[in-house]
Structure 1
Amino acid sequence: MNGNNVIQSEAHSSSQLTELLTCLVGDQWIGLKVQNVREVVTKQIRTEMPLSPDCVMGLINLRGKVITEIEVRTVVGLPHRAEEAPLHVAIVETSNGEDFGLIVDDVGAVIELDYDNFEATPRSLSPIWLQVSEGVMKQEDRVIVVVNVDRFISLTIPDGGDANRDSGGN
C-alpha cells in the first residue's frame, strides 16, 4: 500500500553519468539532478502566505515569475532553519514545467557520479526519504540521497504542483 516494500532505482547502464547539485539539509547531503535545477538564489524578498502548509515558506518574485518556496528541512521532519541562517534556494523545475524554490541549509558543488556508485534507497530510512528518493550515491566519505524533484513536489503540494500554474490573469 505505501510502496515501501520494494525500493527500485531507475534502470541505468553502469557507464552512464549524472550531474548532481549537492545540497545540505541538516546533516544529510542530498543531490538534485542538474537537469531539474534552474539556478540557486539568495536574499529574495518573500511574501508569506497564511494558511499554507508548514513547509511552504511563501512566494518570491523571481524576474517576474512567482515561485513557491518550500523548506526541505520541514518536509523531511527537521525543525525550521534559524532565521539568521544564510538562505540558499535551489530553483527547480518539475517535469510539467512548474518552478519551485527548495530552501536548503547549504549548497555544495555540482558533482558527476557514476551509476556504479548508485544503490537503491535503504528501507531503513524514514518513509519520507523512501518516497522522495531515487536511490543513494556513495562518494568517498558520505552518502548522498538523490531526490526526485517530481516526487518531492507531489508529496509537498497535494495537487502535484498545479498551484503554481498561472490561472490566466495578468
Structure 2
Amino acid sequence: MQSVQTQPSPARPADDATQVFLTLTVGGKPCAVPALSVRDVLGPQTITRIPLAPPEVAGSLNLRGRIVTAIDLRRRLSLPPREAGAPRPMSIVVEQNGELYSLLSDAVGDVVPLAAKDAAPNPPTLDPLWAAVSKGVHRQDGRLLIVLDVERVLDFGQA
C-alpha cells in the first residue's frame, strides 16, 4: 500500500471571509440583513393595527401563536407609501431582546454569501436616516446593497 503525503492546506486569508445575508428590497432600494438574525420569512400576512403605536409600527400579526410586531420599513426609512394595487409586503421575522418583529419589505431576494473584501463603510452621500440604520454597504452584481443593522432599525428613538 502506497502512502500519500498531503500538505496541510494553507489558512485562508482574512480578506477571503464571507458573511451570509438575506437580500430584500424597500422602495426600490436593494438592502440586506445578516441571515443569522432572520428567524422566518413569510408571505403577505393579515396585520392588525395597534392603536397609539408609533407610525413605523404597521400593527401585529400572529406567528404560530406568538404576537409579532410588524414594522413598516418604508415608514421607518421615510420612503413613500406603497402604491395602490402594489403587492402586499413580505415579512422578515427577526428576534430582538426576546421579542419577535416582522420587517415589512417590498420583496425578499436570495440568501447570498458576500465577501468581506466587498464591504465598505456608508458612503458620505447616503441619506442620514439610512446611514443611522446601516452597517455599511456591499457591492454585488454591479449594485450597492445597504446592510441594515436590525438593532438600529428597531430602535425608534435612534433615527
Regarding TM over 0.5, the answer is yes
> How far did residue 44 of structure 1 move?
2.1
89, 92, 112: which is aligned to 2:91? 89
| Residue in structure 2 matched with residue 37 of structure 1 by the alignment | 38
Runs of 4 or more, structure 1, over 2 Å off, are: 82-87
- Residues 2-50 of structure 1: per-residue CA shift (max 9 Å, x gap): xxxxxxxxxxx42221111000011211101000001111232211012
Indicate the larger mover: 123-132 or 62-71. Answer: 123-132
Question: Gaps spanning 5+ residues in structure 2: where?
Answer: 1-13
| Residue in structure 1 matched with residue 108 of structure 2 by the alignment | 107
Quick one: distance in 1 between partners of 2:78 and 2:59?
A: 19
> How far did residue 129 of structure 1 move?
1.2
| RMSD, matched Cα | 1.6
1:18-167, aligned counterparts within 5 Å?
A: 18-82=19-83, 84-86=85-87, 87-94=89-96, 96-154=97-155, 156=156, 158=157
> How far did residue 83 of structure 1 move?
5.3
* Length, aligned pairs only: 144
Question: Gaps spanning 5+ residues in structure 1: where?
Answer: 1-12, 160-170
Indicate the structure (1 or 2) with the bigger Cα radius of gyration: 2
Quick one: distance in 2 between partners of 1:43 and 1:138?
A: 29
Secondary structure of 2:131's counterpart equals helix
Matching residue's letter, 2:93: I
| Residue in structure 2 matched with residue 3 of structure 1 by the alignment | none
Secondary structure of 1:14's counterpart equals helix
Quick one: distance in 2 between partners of 1:120 and 1:92?
A: 24
- Residues 138-158 of structure 1: per-residue CA shift (max 9 Å, x gap): 01221000011011101x2x4
Quick one: distance in 2 between partners of 1:18 and 1:84?
A: 36
CA contact (8 A) 2:27 2:80 kept: no
| Residue in structure 2 matched with residue 7 of structure 1 by the alignment | none
Matching residue's letter, 2:131: L
Quick one: distance in 2 between partners of 1:17 and 1:97?
A: 27
Secondary structure of 2:15's counterpart equals coil
In the superposition, the TM-score normalised over structure 2's length comes to 0.84
Secondary structure of 2:132's counterpart equals helix
- Residues 96-146 of structure 1: per-residue CA shift (max 9 Å, x gap): 232100000011111100010000011221111111111100012210000
Quick one: distance in 2 between partners of 1:93 and 1:16?
A: 25
Sequence identity (%):
35
